[in-house]
Amino acid sequence: MTLSASLEQIAVNRSFGGWHKRFRHRSAALGCDMVFAIYLPPQAEDGPVPVLYWLSGLTCSDENFMQKAGAQRVAAELGIAIVAPDTSPRGTDVPGDPDGSWDFGHGAGFYVNATQAPWNVHYRMYDYVVAELPSLVEANFPVTDARAIAGHSMGGHGALVSALKNPGRYRSVSAFAPISHPTTCPWGEKAFSRYLGADRQSWKAWDACELIAALPEGVERLPLLVDQGEADGFLAEQLKPADLEAACAEAGHPLTLRLQPGYDHSYYFIASFIEDHLRHHAAALQD
């Protein structure tokens, strides 16, 4: 398969018989250059393979998951490609937090489509991860249109929202320590008030708990797999897994919520359970 001239390869590494590659491209959705990583398992040399899209959390880039999660060994066994985009638009032309804060702006796109100036020009991460990036990947790499999505923290929020807003687009979804109810937590309130404006009703379209409650009858309810560390310092104030559990129970939405004693918010936590998640996705992707 010949790569599009719009893709600039910036790194390549052999890994567990497959290849980890990084690319830069111009994003139409975000109006800036973006970097993403893709892991192609050895099976991709013989034919197209399904894809897991991984969304990372606040302050992260495509590199965090690929370097720290230890996912390539199991992905190589299962024959799953992994695509990891950056977490937000970046660059000198892209506005960041005017106060220099780490939880808004660069590294904190929150996987929404911003409606408020100046953020609405570039901060359209939802369109990027749901539509533009998969189209680019499926046109340029040996992958199928069988997709799964997962993420951590802000990326867990992004994965849940992307799957809930697009029934049938993904075969499976999972999350590590997701920001489950962003309309009611400090991180979400800060980001949504700036990206989406003062109307809190409009925020509900980007909140997993609210989306679960609003799913119409007859729509496929994709089972959710969520792991949450009980020693996570953000658990009570920011992540609110109990709210997600309550929303799923009220709506009859399938949820497996696993509270893991002693685990925190770090990649030590993710690396400990990533194999479970990959096997969860493989079962759906290869069904």
Question: In this predicted structure, what is the pLDDT of residue 1?
Answer: 62
CA distances from 173 to 158, 278, 283 (A): 11, 10, 12
Strands 32-40 and 81-85, by their bridges, are antiparallel
Catalytically active residues are: 153, 232, 265
Cα R_g (the chain), whole angstroms:
18
Residues 30, 106: Cα–Cα separation, whole Å = 12
Q: What is the pTM of this model?
A: 0.97
Structural domains present in the chain: 8-285 (3.40.50.1820)
Residues 64, 84: Cα–Cα separation, whole Å = 9
- Phi, psi at 71, each rounded to 5°: -85, -20
Question: In this predicted structure, what is the pLDDT of residue 4?
Answer: 76
Q: Each residue's pLDDT tens digit in the chain (287 positions)?
A: 667 778 999 999 999 999 999 999 999 999 999 999 999 999 999 999 999 999 999 999 999 999 999 999 999 999 999 999 999 999 989 999 888 899 999 999 999 999 999 999 999 999 999 999 999 999 999 999 999 999 999 999 999 999 999 999 999 999 999 999 999 999 999 999 999 999 999 999 999 999 999 999 888 899 999 999 999 999 999 999 999 999 999 999 999 999 999 999 999 999 999 999 999 999 999 87
Question: In this predicted structure, what is the pLDDT of residue 235?
Answer: 98
Q: Write the DSSP string, the chain.
A: -PPPTT-EEEEEEEETTEEEEEEEEEETTTTEEEEEEEEE-GGGGTS-EEEEEEE--TT--HHHHHHHS--HHHHHHHT-EEEEE-SS--STTS---TT--TTSBTTB-TT-B--STTGGGT-BHHHIIIIIHHHHHHHHSSEEEEEEEEEETHHHHHHHHHHHHSTTT-SEEEEES----GGGSHHHHHHHHHHT-S-HHHHGGG-HHHHHHHPPTTS--PPEEEEEETT-TTIIIII-HHHHHHHHHHHT--EEEEEETT--SSHHHHHHHHHHHHHHHHHHHT-
Q: Are 45 and 76 in contact (CB under 8 A)?
A: no
